[in-house]
A and B are shown apart, each in its own frame.
Chain A
Amino acid sequence: MTDIAALPEPHPATPRPTRSYLGAGSDLRSWLLTTDHKRIAILYALTLTLFFFIGGAAATLIRIELITPAGDLVSADSYNKLFTLHGVIMVWFFLVPAIPTTFGNFILPMAVGASDVAFPRLNLLSWYLTVAGGLLALVSLLVGGVDTGWTFYTPYSTLYSNSYVTLAAAGVFVAGFGTIATGVNMIVTVHVLRARGMRWMRLPLFVWSIYATSIIMVLATPALAVALLMIVVDRLFGLSLFDPDQGGDPIIFQHVFWFYSHPAVYIMILPGMGVVTEIITCFARRRVFGYEAMVFAILGIAIFSFFVWGHHMFVSGQSAWASLVFSILSFVVAVPSAIKVFNWSATLYGGHITFEASMLYALGFLGLFTLGGLTGLFLASIPIDVHVHDTYFVVAHFHYIMVGAMVTAFFGGLHFWWPKVTGRHYSEPWARLAAILMFVGFNFTFFPQFILGYLGMPRRYHSYPPEFQIWHVLSSAGAVILALAYLVPLVYLTLSLRYGRRAGDNPWHASGLEWATTSPPPRDNFVIPPTVDTDPYAYHAAHEEPSERDESGGDHQSSRKDEMP
């Protein structure tokens, strides 16, 4: 694809022409003061992993509590604090930053052929802001907890809750600036740092998806800041913005909050869609079906995501006509998502498909995203939403999108780019096992919750009527499998750092520019700045049918045989 791809792999015995980014030092200072986008990505990955397991621990306690109908494991207040902790940590300190700050940071500059992001220092500042916000939120959750739910609905959060709402809101507020800075960085990088010949319509869809996500981050996060600021001033200075006795209106908060939080759902899922496109094309050895349609679908989702927030408020008492408008817009936003699902499926047509772990994750994503998206149609239908709103149906729906689809895509990306990031292979059989466990465990955990929701089980209930128990037990049993599936990669990925086989520069024979450099890449990514003269996903010429990978069993090759011909 580029002249760089033809660079010969250096012999292991001879020193590499440039040191990898990991060679720039291993002391704390070299990491904490780095401006290398790849090192910052690693910092993010470690931070987010920590938050993921903290949020996961809360989820585990919740699932154990719900095995019995009585609220017997923890007190009602503790339960309320647990689901708030789970939501706050998972949404703002894992899902929102997950892909943009890790793969976005590590891969995107290489994928457009740049040597770093546009503003490397701002990039480091984003990480510090995220960590500072995360620590504030963690402190608030540890010293006493917050019991409002991650949605902070007023007037409960402003006038009634005796918990550390201000501190938690401040944490999310601070982290929001990190998100905005990351967004700005990605947008500018894509605009000004593309390699020669990397025209807009040659950008990989992963880059498009991060670009669209960044636009949402920059435009929507300020609305979240406003919503949180209003809560804080209301609590600290008694501004009474949401106190009906003083002429305030509790519903205003919901409008501002969902104006951020609905687009935020797409901040979480769009990057996942990008990652999955890279994986499916690579392991099907096939150009993506309908590249232009995919680009417009990504942009369409990003734009429409701003106009559907009212579907969270069908039962809040908003005008019936407003509800109808939000309902039709919510149906319309389903169209680009459906197009993407069909295009991914069609990309498999006529390919030469192999089923490495990352491909298994990507196919799992496809199934879970389809289910999550379809149940979104249920929620866009007003009469159905009236019944299932604030029940486990909604819980199941958004977990299918955010955990089923998005976290699966994250793991897919992790396995796809792991050889690039570390230069090592992980254990493929264990990775495949984890991918299958994750798919099975996820469905086992969350599918019963659709049924629970239809039967009327409200969310955020510490205790519940006994007739719901069977479904809760099933869900908790599935959660055991799911937890295991999340822990297994932690083990084999860590082991691979020491014992993994050398991966070579391009073990999957993938087409992106990031594969055209060494693994792990040098500080400035490319020795010679790359130029681009082909479409993305040039696994075969546009007028020819796909051909097999040019050698057999890429992941069984030693690094020396991995050279591109």
Chain B
Amino acid sequence: MNSILSLAQASENARSFDTLLLVLVLFSLAIVTLVGTLVLVFSIRYRKGSKVTRHRVPRLLSHQIEWGWTSATVFVALFFFWGAASIMVRQLDPPPDAMEIHVEAKQWMWKARHPNGTREINALHVPMGQPVKLYLDSQDVIHSFFVPAFRLKQDVVPGRTATTWFTATEPGTYHLFCAEFCGTSHSQMTGEIVVMEPEDFSAWLANRPEGDTLVAEGRKLFTTAGCSGCHAEGSDVHAPDLNGVAGRRVALADGRVVTADDAYLRDSILLPARDVVAGYAPIMPDFGGILETGEVTALVAYLRSLGTQEGETP
């Protein structure tokens, strides 16, 4: 796995990363050699007392030299930008078949929940070769989900759900670090990422106690927290219908039109007065002090599932 000089290359992104890194390292070596040689050669050749003839640089030539290395540097800078940016853009969106795992960060632990509800603390088991999309939430301060072997890092900011993804390529156990300083035990907020062959992963998953899936927990909360009192089909209260709300374009009372993404759904639960839907009275109570972060995540997951197959057939 990791030696003292090399880092395991355990995800698809790690390969393109290491290639780019190598190019930059070689380029840096070339520049250091160039500058080092110039300084060394000039220092020796033009040291005081040496008898070599000193030629002056004509003004025109020195201007040409100046323009020469300026444009060369601009070209190199843009070239590296293009190389780095194209790798980044290629890796922006996860493949559509990615497996979704929810991760919750809090001082000072990582809690993960698999699609079937299986939970883990400070550990995450994933199958090799399967794209995995992570939904990351924080209960308190900013944390950062960092897996060096995957060359993957994503800050987890309270109040918004971050997403990131990876496809593991090598079985093994790798470090998970919190990379954003989060208080006293920051350096204890670590865990392990276990990459398994797909069949081993299935066997591992089958032996774990199954918990509620996030959607199931959200469905329960939808009733117990009182959402259904207004938003259920049979309710007398004039409240928006939430079937298929996720991803829909929503017209607001103040004239704005927004897309109902995760952040919008979360804000509508915690700060309902901010984005009132056009045609409805601002009567929804504020759930900020009532629901915990994990519960809001579950509700949002449930809302996302409404209108899809999973949501309609309880």
Contact = CB atoms under 8 A, between A and B. Distances in A.
Interface in B126-156: 140-142, 144, 146, 148-149, 151-155
Interface string A242-257: 0011111111000000
A25 interface: no
A245 B77 contact: no
Interface string A333-364: 01100110111011011111111000000010
A315 B153 contact: yes
Contacts of B148: 387, 455-456
A315 to B, nearest CB: 5
Contact of B175 (A456, A470, A548): A456
B177 A456 contact: yes
Contacts of A374: 27-28, 31-32
B154 A461 contact: no
A337 B207 CA distance: 58
Contacts of A350: 46, 54-57
B87 A546 contact: no
B179 A348 contact: no
A390 B16 contact: no
A72 interface: no
Given A160-B140, A316-B157, A338-B69, A331 B80 contact: yes
B148 to A, nearest CB: 3
A560 B89 CA distance: 68
B2 A467 contact: yes
A381 B294 CA distance: 34
A383 B39 contact: no
A389 B56 contact: no
B88 A244 contact: no
Nearest to B143: A156
Contacts of A192: none
B180 interface: yes
Contact of A346 (B65, B92, B151, B190): B65
Contacts of B3: 467
B55 A156 contact: no
Interface in A187-218: none
Nearest to B28: A374
B150 to A, nearest CB: 9
Contacts of B183: 80, 147, 156, 160-161
A338 B73 CA distance: 7
B158 A463 contact: no
Contacts of B17: 383-384, 387
A377 B42 contact: no
Interface in B1-36: 2-5, 7, 13, 16-17, 20-21, 24, 27-28, 31-32, 35-36
Contacts of B74: 332, 335
Contacts of B49: 352, 548
Interface stretch (A129-137, A168-176, A321-329, A406-414): A321-329
A21 interface: no
B48 A383 contact: no
A327 B84 contact: yes
B95 interface: no
B204 interface: no
Contacts of A338: 69, 73
Contacts of B87: 382-383
A293 B59 CA distance: 13
A53 to B, nearest CB: 25
B12 to A, nearest CB: 12
A149 B181 contact: yes
A345 B39 contact: yes
Interface in B38-52: 38-39, 42-43, 46-49
B259 to A, nearest CB: 14
Interface string B261-301: 00000000011001000000000000011000000000000
Contact of A349 (B46, B70, B157, B181): B46
Contacts of B83: 381
B210 interface: no
A456 B87 CA distance: 20
A487 interface: no
B120 interface: no
A461 B146 CA distance: 13
B62 A160 contact: no
B308 interface: no
Contacts of A160: 107, 140-141, 183
B73 A378 contact: no
Contacts of B65: 290, 346
B221 interface: no
A535 to B, nearest CB: 12
A380 interface: yes
B205 interface: no
Given A245-B288, A315-B144, A461-B186, A342 B57 contact: no
B84 A460 contact: no
A515 to B, nearest CB: 19
Interface in B233-274: 270-271, 274
A139 B64 CA distance: 56
A460 B181 contact: yes
A124 to B, nearest CB: 38
B137 to A, nearest CB: 11
Interface in B211-251: none
Given A245-B288, A246-B288, A155 B158 contact: yes
B91 interface: yes
A477 B42 CA distance: 33
B182 interface: yes
A346 B46 CA distance: 12
Given A317-B162, A348-B43, A354-B47, A156 B141 contact: yes
A476 to B, nearest CB: 16
Q: Which 9 A-B pairs have the closest CB atoms?
A: A244-B159, A456-B148, A381-B84, A348-B42, A461-B187, A331-B77, A350-B54, A390-B179, A387-B151
Interface of B: 2-5, 7, 13, 16-17, 20-21, 24, 27-28, 31-32, 35-36, 38-39, 42-43, 46-49, 54-57, 62, 65-66, 69-70, 73-74, 77-78, 80-81, 83-85, 87-89, 91-92, 107, 140-142, 144, 146, 148-149, 151-155, 157-160, 162, 175, 177-188, 190, 270-271, 274, 288-289
Given A350-B46, A371-B32, A381-B84, 17 more contacts: A80-B184, A155-B141, A155-B142, A327-B81, A335-B70, A342-B35, A352-B49, A352-B54, A380-B80, A380-B81, A386-B153, A387-B152, A390-B180, A455-B148, A456-B148, A467-B4, A471-B4
16 contacts: A80-B183, A153-B180, A316-B155, A320-B92, A323-B88, A339-B70, A345-B39, A351-B54, A353-B42, A371-B32, A381-B84, A382-B84, A382-B87, A383-B87, A454-B7, A463-B188
